[in-house]
Amino acid sequence: MIESKHQFENYSTAKQLPLVSIVIATYNGSLFLAQQMESVVAQTYSNIEIIVVDDCSTDNTIEILKDFQLQYPHINIYSNKINLGYVKNFEKGCTLASGTYIALCDQDDVWHVDKIKKMQAVIGSYPVIYCDSVLCDENLQPIGVNISDRGNCHDYDNCLQQAIFCRIYGHATLIRKDFMQKVIPFLEVIPHDWWLSYMATFYGGIKYLNEPLASYRQHSANIFGAAGGKSRKHNKINKAEKNRLEKKRIRIRIKAFYNNCPNELVKEKEVLRRIVKSYENFSLLNNFQRMVLFFKYKNLLLASKKRSALRKYLFCLKMFVMIK
């Protein structure tokens, strides 16, 4: 285990900075956890607390965490009595945070040592800021692309830009706690980082820091792959049942997005209402209206997709026979 060279920085200097709560959700993470913890305790931002919520791990995750806690007393470990699932586990960690800012942390990545320092310096009045990430294999070797190579990364300020696709991942975010308190509870059928990104458009928008500050590890145990990867959570379910569950989640998500869109955003509210209606079934009328909607608002609805104009056109055509 490495020792942070910043661990013993002057206490009074550290307290001049706003407290940042790093929230780590763990579950059977022993394979990669120590490497991530080393990068977290090595952060050059000096006023942090580390909150780890373990979701009933059966491996030696807790032992690894306790070893770190012995050396770094600002690590707080909480163990769930029942398995909450990753969304609710992150939610619990966020409710335990006492910092002005909250940084979400996965158990299997590695952070640049200046990640928190650089993001806190430029977040300004935005409720959420996110940075770029380097995609790596399970051995943490870069695979030659960043998140920004697979999706459009920039500032966002319209909810329709996050309603269909989201390329903002929790491990790359820094979030104001006062905003977080307004959007909890998280919905279990929507990834927490997607929910936060969507809701942030109503509270000042999302800031992008164009710098890769994390190594995002891709491996067989990922719940979601990066930039459009498929969920591995239901691999054992037959294809028909998997499709049924996916359509159900999509319909719940878009209905939740519609319900939480403020009425004063007349255009956005109406577009979401029409999408909800078109998602109800695959009648010819719904299919046609859905396709027309996507063509009309493709610059907003497909804002996160890094695709050519032709491929966006083809995607809109496909909405005649699918929902997303």
DSSP letters spanning 247-265? HHHHHHHHHHHHHHS-TT-
Residues 303/156, Cβ–Cβ less than 8 Å: yes
| Structural domain includes residue 272 | yes
Digitized pLDDT (tens) for each residue of the chain, 324 residues in all:
444 444 444 445 566 899 999 999 999 999 999 999 999 999 999 999 999 999 999 999 999 999 999 999 999 999 999 999 999 999 999 999 999 999 999 999 999 999 999 999 999 999 999 999 999 999 999 999 999 999 999 999 999 999 999 999 999 999 999 999 999 999 999 999 999 999 999 999 999 999 999 999 997 766 555 654 444 444 556 889 999 999 999 999 999 999 999 999 999 999 999 999 999 999 999 999 999 999 999 999 999 999 999 999 999 999 999 999
Q: Residue 3 half-sphere exposure, CB side, CA atoms within 13 Å? A: 6
Which of the listed residues 168, 185, 217 is the one where a domain comes to its end? 217
Query: Does residue 261 share a domain with residue 213?
Result: no
Q: Which domain holds residue 245?
A: 239-318
| Structural domain includes residue 227 | no
| Structural domain includes residue 3 | no
Spell out a b/e string for 163-177, using b for 16 or more CB atoms within 10 Å of the CB, else e: bbbbbbbbbbbbbbb
Q: What is the CATH number of the domain that holds 213?
A: 3.90.550.10
Query: Does residue 278 share a domain with residue 173?
Result: no
**Does the pTM exceed 0.75?**
yes
Tokens of 185: 């509870």
Which of the listed residues 182, 217, 252 is the one where a domain comes to its end? 217
Query: Does residue 299 share a domain with residue 169?
Result: no
| Structural domain includes residue 228 | no
| Structural domain includes residue 223 | no
CA distance 6 to 31: 26
Query: Does residue 51 share a domain with residue 146?
Result: yes
Which of the listed residues 185, 217, 249 is the one where a domain comes to its end? 217
